Amino acid sequence: MSRFQLHQEALPHLPVPPLQQTLDRYLLALQPIISEEELNHTQELVAEFRKPGGVGERLQKGLERRAKKTENWLSDWWLKTAYLEYRLPVVVHSSPGVVLPKQDFLDRQGQLRFAAKLIEGILDFKTMIDNETLPVEYLGGKPLCMNQYYQILSSCRIPGPKRDSIVNYAKGKKQSRHITVVHNFQFFELDVYNSDGSPLTTDQLFIQLEKIWNTSLQTNKEPIGILTTNHRNSWAKAYNNLLKDKTNKESVRTIEKSICTVCLDAPMPRVSEDIYKSRVAAQMLHGGGSRWNSGNRWFDKTLQFIIAEDGSCGLVYEHAPSEGPPIVALLDHIVEYTKKPELVRSPMIPLPMPKKLRFNITPEIKNDIEKAKQNLNIMVEDLDVKVMVFHQFGKTFPKSEKISPDAFIQLALQLAYYRMYGHVCATYESASLRMFRLGRTDTIRSTSVESLKFVQSMDSPDKSKADLLRRATQAHRQYTDMAIRGNAIDRHLLGLKLQAIEDLVSMPELFMDTAYAVAMHFNLSTSQVPAKTDCVMCFGPVVPDGYGICYNPMDEHINFAISAFNSCADTNAARMAHYLEKALLDMRILLQSTPKSKL
């Protein structure tokens, strides 16, 4: 048994929470977001569902049996329902982007030198994965599942007509030895190891990248990568069509097998300093459209690092194999690595020319590309994304008040939303289940009875609002602790629903109820992705009339990325950013003007 396997074997299995507990907590979670009338109706459905010997107990037993015979009762189901069977494009709707701090180079030379150093950093991290020397992470003293780290390199998503799949070339005899480099919509296979198995140095990589650059100067090529931005069913058809040709098939397989992709982007239009980061966020999420860099990607690839001539850089990743934190840990490692001085000047053995990947474009494929371009440009026009750096304070302030920074930020989001719309909404915050073997995420429902009481009191003369603020943050902290221990409600309810489908029994009324639909319609989809690097992750909304909000709390400032759709008249990212900033400041003033109570 390898070191990694031993670690994994020792991790506990994800529990199936007690049925009655989940049903009680479900009703509690519904209280702030639905009317009393709807709640009464749902209470009847819950009472029916939870009867001794009833449908709930039958499904619960099915789940418990499944948990006994699998490594994780949820992980396969979740991968399929949340990712592989999801048919909307991965661009905007699924794949998160990360905006890195602007680099200080301003020309091609600097861009390629930085790219070379970055690739060397990736390979340095890959060595830790391959040798299984990656330090185990802990949360609250408990070791975490490290499996996601082993899924992010040398992997790729493959489109299918009803369900996609993932291929992984990290293990086994035929390990990937190359990365894919894209420049001016042209793909190259770049070997990153010498014949003796040692990784290429920055100097060697730089020379190879220059060769790639100089053989892809013309921009008249068909942007084949744009096909990966389409609706999954359309892309699956186009994919099968594309692979009928032997040359195309070889080229696509080379991309799929590569360790990762490095995109050398053309410069984007210059913008003013204050909107620069928002523009880069859009560039990371979708490339800016078919006129700009969207064709300079293969969006099915798990990891794509993006480096533009003007110093903007970051990455986009395909979400199915991993959550944000492992991606950010890899990023932190690479960023630290790029700061190191170069130790050795490598002997200049002539290296083979990187191989350009050829594609034969039939009229049918050209037509597929045109359709993908049109659909993508509509998506690009529709995405409203704003990066806000909140400079007034960072996580040091809530900590000084003995409040969890995450709970403080989540409550500020609740307040901002309430002030904008006059009501609260179902809110999703991802919680890590990595305390368990193959754990992914569950949902922290940030909208609670306590958070509603607080936001309603905030703009009234109520004397107890500082108390209500503290109570709401404590309720959030409790829900978080419950979630990371496998006791939240969302994945359990999903499991019961999927169990009903698997057992071929009729769908329980509970899941056909409007309240269930309201509870699952997350107008606020949020995630805290902390990093050592001063970066921010971003993703699209999960509903047409919602927001996608990601944040990285640093000591003295907080990075936020807020997204919405322009096609929805009721949502606006800049307006949300404005209300969020005000909420954070008002909450600080409230705490500072109130003596600490003995709560």
The reply to whether 527 sits in an annotated binding site is no
430 annotated ligand-binding residue: yes
- What residue has token string 């990455």? 315
Beta-carbon contacts of residue 311 (< 8 Å; ≥ 6 apart)? 102, 103, 104, 105, 106, 110, 111
Q: Is 119 annotated as a binding residue?
A: no
In the block, tokens 């990694």 appear at 4
**Pairing state between β 178-183 and 165-168:** unpaired
278 is in an annotated binding site: no
Determine whether the annotation assigns residue 401 to a binding site.
yes
Q: What three-state secondary structure class fits 142?
A: strand
Look at residues 535, 446, 434 and name the one whose alpha carbon lies nearest to residue 144: 434
Is 25 annotated as contributing to ligand binding? no
* 528 annotated ligand binder: yes
Distance CA 190, CA 356 (A): 9
Is 556 assigned a ligand-binding role in the annotation? no
* Cα 72 to Cα 437: distance, rounded to the nearest angstrom: 7
Q: Is 2 annotated as a binding residue?
A: no
Q: How far apart are CA 576 and CA 388, in angstroms?
A: 10
The reply to whether 428 sits in an annotated binding site is yes
The strand pairing partners of 525, in sequence order, are 428, 548
423 an active-site residue? no
Exposed/middle/buried for residue 506 (C-beta within 10 Å: 0-12, 13-18, 19+): exposed
Q: Which of 7, 183, 286, 319 is catalytic?
A: 319
Supply the DSSP string of 401-444, one letter for each residue. Answer: TT--HHHHHHHHHHHHHHHHHSS---EEEEEE-TTSTT--EEEE
CA neighbor of 430 nearest in space, from 416, 440, 421, 420: 440
Q: Where are the alpha helices (DSSP H) in 131-262?
A: 202-214, 232-242, 246-257
Helix axes 465-484, 573-592, angle to 10 degrees: 110
Q: Tell me if 195 is assigned to a ligand binding site.
A: no
Please answer whether residues 243 and 158 qualify as being in contact, where contact means their C-beta atoms are separated by less than 8 angstroms: no
Residue 441 known to bind ligand: yes
Q: Is 406 marked within a binding site?
A: yes
Residue 274: HSE in the Cβ half-sphere, 13 Å Cα cutoff? 2
| CA–CA distance, 451 with 471 (Å, rounded to integer) | 8
Return binding residues: 395, 399-406, 428, 430, 432, 441, 477, 528
- Binding-site residue numbers for CoA are 395, 399-406, 432, 477, 528
Catalytic residue numbers, as ranges: 319
Binding site per annotation, positions for (R)-carnitine: 428, 430, 441
